[in-house]
């Protein structure tokens, strides 16, 4: 769903938008800018909320310190070009 919005910009911005973005593409350009702006703020809020959850932080720390990759076999890169010999 889309909504029509009327905005006011300076003559300079108007001319630059038409030259750089092109006619019929300005709405999409502004929509993308606004979406990035709000999504970034939402991510910041989500990270702050997660960091405030002490149980989640404790579990994450335990998981990180558990050595989750200790049980994985080492990959053999000896056949790769440029692999240093030991």
Q: 31-81 pLDDT, tens per residue?
A: 999 988 877 777 788 888 888 888 988 888 888 887 755 665 677 777 778
Which one is predicted more confidently, 79 or 17?
17
CA distances from 58 to 43, 44, 45, 62, 69 (A): 21, 20, 20, 6, 19
For the cut 80, the answer to whether the pLDDT of residue 83 exceeds it is: no
For residues 26 and 17, is the Cβ–Cβ distance under 8 A?
yes
For the cut 80, the answer to whether the pLDDT of residue 28 exceeds it is: yes
Beta-carbon contacts of residue 57 (< 8 Å; ≥ 6 apart): 50, 51
For the cut 70, the answer to whether the pLDDT of residue 6 exceeds it is: yes
pLDDT at 12: 96
């Amino acid at each position: 769903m889309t909504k029509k919005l009327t905005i006011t910009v300076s003559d300079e911005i108007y001319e630059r938008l038409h030259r750089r973005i092109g006619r019929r593409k300005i709405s999409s350009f502004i929509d993308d800018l606004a979406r990035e702006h709000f999504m970034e703020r939402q991510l910041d809020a989500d990270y702050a909320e997660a960091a405030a959850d002490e149980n989640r932080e404790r579990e994450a720390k335990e998981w990180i310190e558990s050595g989750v990759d200790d049980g994985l076999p080492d990959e053999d890169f000896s056949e790769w070009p440029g692999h240093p010999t030991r």
